[in-house]
Amino acid sequence: MNTLKLAETWADSRNDVVPHSRPGYAKLFFSIQDIGELLRLDGPQKQEMSEQGPQFHPRRVKAGELIYRLGQPFESLYVVRFGFLKIVLRNSEGDERVLSFPMKGNLLGLDGLFCNRYGTEAVALTDCELIIIPFKQILAMGHSCRELEQMIYLATSREIMEEHAGISLSGPLKSEARVAGFLEELAKRYAALGYSSQEMSLPMTRRDIGCYLGLTLETVSRTLSALAEAGAISVRRKDIQILKPELLHLFQSFRSLPQQKIRLSQPLFFCSTTVQ
């Protein structure tokens, strides 16, 4: 049995721990109300929906597949129904910086609006299902569907806030503070979906976490071990248990010395694609 199947089997028995497991049912299309529920925003009530209301189709992808590529013409926004992804920015050498880890309820593809081309890549870390929202369909509806318009605005604002939280973790912080902050933010996102905030299965690799936090793979591994030795967490491969949330939070006060602070003029940390 491969790792994915093991994860799915484990998810079925521990449904309070893994929010990226596949739901037990499939749908052929989704309404605006479905999207509102998924985004965890107030959408129209069922009685307000007409039978001719817009319908949106799902797209299923396998782990490792691209949802869209850097420079690809912008056509659609996507809402994650299940699964876990990473949003990647690449430099001219092809090295990558992970910008975020979208999960259930996140909105993707917003970076394609300005230049009509996607400015990043979205890669599935697990099997995923996304709801496709064609941008031409949004334009064609104009202001006739204010509910969808409002939901996209609110979801966009939330995506910006989550991205700002991620940027703050790669600032002038020691590795313990960055990794502790990452785990705490991820726990909050799990809790917001109704899952356990103290037991998590990480679908991303240590290298992905390092590319997100501006750390090397080795530093991420050493830091997780240090947090475990301190009694803040327990680590079993990709399974993390937060044993002492207050102690984990305390680690976030670990800051670098002033002369080590990262200046805005310095380039972003990119992970070489030649290093596994």
Tell me: pLDDT of 1 over 80: no
Q: How far apart are CA 183 and CA 172, in angstroms?
A: 18
Tell me: pLDDT of 124 over 70: yes
CATH topology of domain 3-168: Jelly Rolls (2.60.120)
Convert the pLDDT of each residue in 248-257 to its tens digit. 999 987 755 4
Q: How far apart are CA 35 and CA 55, in angstroms?
A: 10
Q: How far apart are CA 39 and CA 80, in angstroms?
A: 9
Are residues 213 and 220 in contact, defined by beta-carbon separation less than 8 angstroms? yes
pTM here? 0.81
Convert the pLDDT of each residue in 129-151 to its tens digit. 999 999 998 888 866 677 788 88
**Residue spans in the chain of domains classed CATH 2.60.120.10:** 3-168
* CA dihedral sign of residues 190, 272, 168, 248: positive
The angle formed by the CA atoms of residues 75, 80 and 43, to the nearest 5 degrees, is 90
Tell me: pLDDT of 262 over 80: no
Q: How far apart are CA 153 and CA 30, in angstroms?
A: 19
Name 39's Cβ contacts closer than 8 Å, sequence gap at least 6. Answer: 79, 105, 107, 151, 154, 155
Count of Cβ atoms closer than 10 Å to residue 61 Cβ:
18
Q: How far apart are CA 208 and CA 86, in angstroms?
A: 8
Per-residue model confidence (pLDDT) at position 86 = 97
**CA 108 to centroid of chain Cα atoms:** 9
The angle formed by the CA atoms of residues 243, 245 and 248, to the nearest 5 degrees, is 95
Per-residue model confidence (pLDDT) at position 50 = 46
- Checking 108-112 for CB contacts under 8 A at 24+ apart, the result is 108/67, 108/77, 108/78, 108/79, 108/80, 109/68, 109/74, 109/76, 109/77, 109/78, 110/77, 110/156, 110/159, 112/68, 112/74, 112/75
Q: How far apart are CA 103 and CA 245, in angstroms?
A: 22
Convert the pLDDT of each residue in 223-249 to its tens digit. 999 999 999 999 999 999 999 999 999
Tell me: pLDDT of 25 over 60: no
Query: Measuring CA to CA, which residue among 240, 249, 236, 100 is closest to residue 177?
Result: 249
Residue range 25-50: mean pLDDT, rounded? 71
CATH topology of domain 171-260: Arc Repressor Mutant, subunit A (1.10.10)
Using only C-alpha atoms, the chain has a radius of gyration, in whole angstroms, of: 19
Convert the pLDDT of each residue in 46-83 to its tens digit. 445 444 578 899 999 999 999 999 999 999 999 999 99
Sheet holding 58-61, edge to edge: 58-61, 128-134, 76-82, 107-108
Residue range 177-186: mean pLDDT, rounded? 95
**Residue spans in the chain of domains classed CATH 1.10.10.10:** 171-260
* Secondary structure (3-state) at 128: strand
Instruction: Tell me which of 5-14, 142-151, 177-186 is least confident.
Output: 5-14
